[in-house]
Chain A
Amino acid sequence: MSLFTGYALTVVGALLGAALILASLLRPLLFADARGIATDAISPLTGVVATMRTGVLAVADAVSGYYAAGTQNARLRREVEIARIRLAEAEAVRSENARLRSLIALRESEAPPIAITRMIGSTAASVRRFGFIGVGADQGVEPGMAVRTARGLLGRVLETGRDSARVLLLTDTESAVPVRLVTGEGTAMAQGRGDSLLRIRLINLGLNPLKRGDVFVTSGAGGYFTPGIAVAIVETVTDDGALARVISDPAVSDFVAVQPIFKPEAASALAEVEAPVAGD
Chain B
Amino acid sequence: MERAEPSVRRIPSRGAIERRHSVAVATLVPWLSVIAASMVPTLVIATALPLVPPTGFLLFLSWRLVRPGLLPVWSGLPLGLVDDLYSGQPFGFAIMSWSLAMLVLEIVERRFPWRSFAHDWLVAAIVLICYLGAGMILSGAILRPPLLVAMVPQLVLTILAVPVTARLVSFLDRLRLRRWRRA
Question: Inside 8 A of B84's CB, which chain A residues have their CB?
Answer: 20, 31
* B88 in the interface (beta carbon within 8 A): yes
Chain B interface residue count: which class?
A: 35 or more
* A69 in the interface (beta carbon within 8 A): no
Among B46, B72, B87, the most chain A Cβ lie within 10 Å of the Cβ of B46
Known A-B contacts A14-B100, A17-B80, A125-B55; the reply to A195 vs B95 at CB < 8 A is no
* B85 in the interface (beta carbon within 8 A): yes
Interface residues in chain A, defined as those with a beta carbon under 8 Å from any beta carbon in chain B: 1, 6-7, 9-25, 28, 30-31, 34-35, 38-39, 42, 45-46, 49, 53, 119, 121-132, 169, 171-174, 193-197, 246, 249-251
Question: Inside 8 A of A122's CB, which chain B residues have their CB?
Answer: 42, 44-47
* B121 in the interface (beta carbon within 8 A): no
Nearest CB in chain A: distance from B33 CB, A:
16
A17 and B99 form a contact (CB under 8 A): yes
Roughly how many angstroms separate A46 CA and B43 CA in the complex, as a whole number?
Answer: 6
Roughly how many angstroms separate A194 CA and B43 CA in the complex, as a whole number?
Answer: 20
A195 and B147 form a contact (CB under 8 A): yes
Known A-B contacts A10-B103, A124-B46, A125-B54; the reply to A21 vs B135 at CB < 8 A is no
Task: State the main secondary structure of chain B at its contact with A.
Answer: helix
**Closest chain B residue, CB of each to CB of A9:** B74
A6 and B90 form a contact (CB under 8 A): no
B92 and A194 form a contact (CB under 8 A): no
Question: Inside 8 A of B50's CB, which chain A residues have their CB?
Answer: 123-127, 129
A246 and B97 form a contact (CB under 8 A): no
Question: Inside 8 A of A18's CB, which chain B residues have their CB?
Answer: 92, 96
B window 24-65: CB within 8 A of A: 39, 41-55
* B73 in the interface (beta carbon within 8 A): yes
Question: Inside 8 A of B94's CB, which chain A residues have their CB?
Answer: 17
The contact of A17 among B41, B42, B96, by CB within 8 Å, is B96
The contact of A121 among B42, B74, B140, by CB within 8 Å, is B42
Question: Inside 8 A of B92's CB, which chain A residues have their CB?
Answer: 16-24
Interface contacts beyond A12-B77, A17-B96: sample of 6 additional A-B pairs, CB < 8 Å, sorted by A: A10-B102, A24-B92, A121-B43, A124-B46, A127-B141, A131-B45
Nearest CB in chain B: distance from A130 CB, A:
5
Known A-B contacts A7-B73, A13-B77, A174-B140; the reply to A20 vs B95 at CB < 8 A is yes
Question: Inside 8 A of B9's CB, which chain A residues have their CB?
Answer: none
B102 and A127 form a contact (CB under 8 A): no
Query: Among the listed stretches B11-19, B111-119, B148-156, B173-181, which one makes contact with chain A, having 4 or more residues with CB under 8 Å of it?
Result: B148-156
Nearest CB in chain A: distance from B81 CB, A:
9
The 3 closest A-B pairs by CB, nearest first: A20-B92, A17-B96, A123-B88
Question: Inside 8 A of B42's CB, which chain A residues have their CB?
Answer: 39, 42, 46, 121-124, 132
B90 and A124 form a contact (CB under 8 A): no
Known A-B contacts A23-B92, A42-B39; the reply to A195 vs B150 at CB < 8 A is yes
Nearest CB in chain A: distance from B115 CB, A:
20
B149 and A195 form a contact (CB under 8 A): yes
Question: Inside 8 A of B96's CB, which chain A residues have their CB?
Answer: 13-18, 20-21
B136 and A38 form a contact (CB under 8 A): no
* B22 in the interface (beta carbon within 8 A): no
